[in-house]
């Protein structure tokens, strides 16, 4: 199983689709368009920020715990579906979820009780996944790293109103904070093999040469992990360049 990770606008969904097509596998996508909670969460962030500015230091986002639980449930189901067949690709996994919930708690958007409850639920899910797959040594996490400027450009390009810093200036601090938490996530991640892609340097969506390079990196790692034979990888590379 290949899981993608990266901040908003890093290109996870695009690379998931590209990889699925390349490897002849099934992609699993993060629920966004059918997520009724996400717009509420962004609105809740804005409301909480205004309350704190007005002096209410204990103001929380009433939708933070709801959103993270919604995502956790969906991603858990996606991972269980993906585990039924080899070499499936997910554009997000529950491995990042603890980071998001911790950040929301540190920001005051969620309470310590909500965080503890969430951690307990996540722990049960990770235990079940581990029991279903006794070893995850051959699983691969592909982390796409992008800068703040690149992230903002891509957010503007895809045009979701509730994600725009022009609509909600408080998102500037939120996005910058999220980048710092992703840096810690990268340092501490150990639930599967990890491959870092420079999303600023390599435009795997628009530039074919960059796409080939990124796919080469991933396929070479799959060969090292024993999930792809060297012969299969070489064939894929030749077909892409034909």
Instruction: Compute CA distances 113 → 8, 101, 109, 120, whole Å.
Output: 27, 12, 12, 11
Question: 13 among the known binding-site residues?
Answer: yes
| Cα 98 from Cα 116, distance rounded (Å) | 11
Question: 8 among the known binding-site residues?
Answer: yes
Question: 147 among the known binding-site residues?
Answer: no
Question: 166 among the known binding-site residues?
Answer: no
> In the annotation, is 149 catalytic?
no
Question: 221 among the known binding-site residues?
Answer: no
Three-state SS string over 78-114 comes to HHHHHCCCCCCEECCCHHHHHHHHHHHHHCCCCCHHH
Question: 52 among the known binding-site residues?
Answer: no
Identified catalytic residue from 91, 106, 137, 198: 91
Of the candidates 184, 141, 165, which has an alpha carbon nearest to the alpha carbon of residue 12? 141
How many residues are recorded in the chain? 242
Question: 21 among the known binding-site residues?
Answer: no
Question: 197 among the known binding-site residues?
Answer: no
Question: 201 among the known binding-site residues?
Answer: no
Residues 213, 202: contact at Cβ < 8 Å? yes
Question: 154 among the known binding-site residues?
Answer: yes
Residues 125, 76: contact at Cβ < 8 Å? yes
Question: 211 among the known binding-site residues?
Answer: no
Residues 42, 31: contact at Cβ < 8 Å? no
Sign of dihedral through CA atoms 217, 26, 121, 162?
positive
Known binding-site residue numbers: 6-14, 30, 42, 68, 92, 97, 154-158, 163
Which residues belong to the active site? 91
Known binding-site residue numbers for substrate: 30, 42, 68, 92, 97, 163
Known binding-site residue numbers for ATP: 6-14, 154-158
């Amino acid at each position: 199983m290949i899981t993608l990770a990266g901040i908003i606008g890093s290109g996870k969904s695009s690379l998931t689709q590209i990889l699925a097509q390349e490897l002849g596998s099934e992609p699993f996508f993060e629920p966004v368009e059918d997520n009724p909670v996400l717009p509420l969460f962004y609105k809740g962030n804005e409301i909480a920020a205004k309350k704190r500015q007005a002096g209410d230091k204990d103001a929380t986002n009433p939708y933070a715990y709801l959103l993270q639980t919604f995502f956790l449930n969906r991603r858990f189901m996606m991972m269980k579906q993906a585990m039924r067949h080899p070499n499936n690709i997910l554009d997000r996994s529950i491995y990042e979820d603890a980071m998001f919930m911790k950040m929301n708690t540190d920001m005051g958007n969620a309470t310590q009780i909500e965080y503890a409850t969430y951690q307990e639920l996540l722990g049960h899910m990770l235990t079940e996944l581990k029991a279903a797959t006794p070893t995850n040594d051959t699983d691969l996490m592909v982390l796409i790293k992008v800068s703040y400027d690149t992230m903002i450009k891509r957010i503007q390009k895809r045009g979701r109103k509730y994600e725009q810093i022009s609509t909600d200036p408080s998102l500037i601090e939120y996005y910058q904070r999220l980048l710092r938490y992703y840096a810690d996530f990268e340092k501490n991640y150990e639930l599967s093999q990890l491959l870092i892609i420079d999303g600023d340097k390599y435009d795997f969506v628009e530039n074919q040469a960059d796409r080939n390079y990124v796919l080469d990196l991933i396929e070479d790692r799959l060969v090292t992990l024993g999930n792809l034979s060297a012969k299969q990888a070489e064939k894929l590379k030749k077909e892409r360049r034909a």
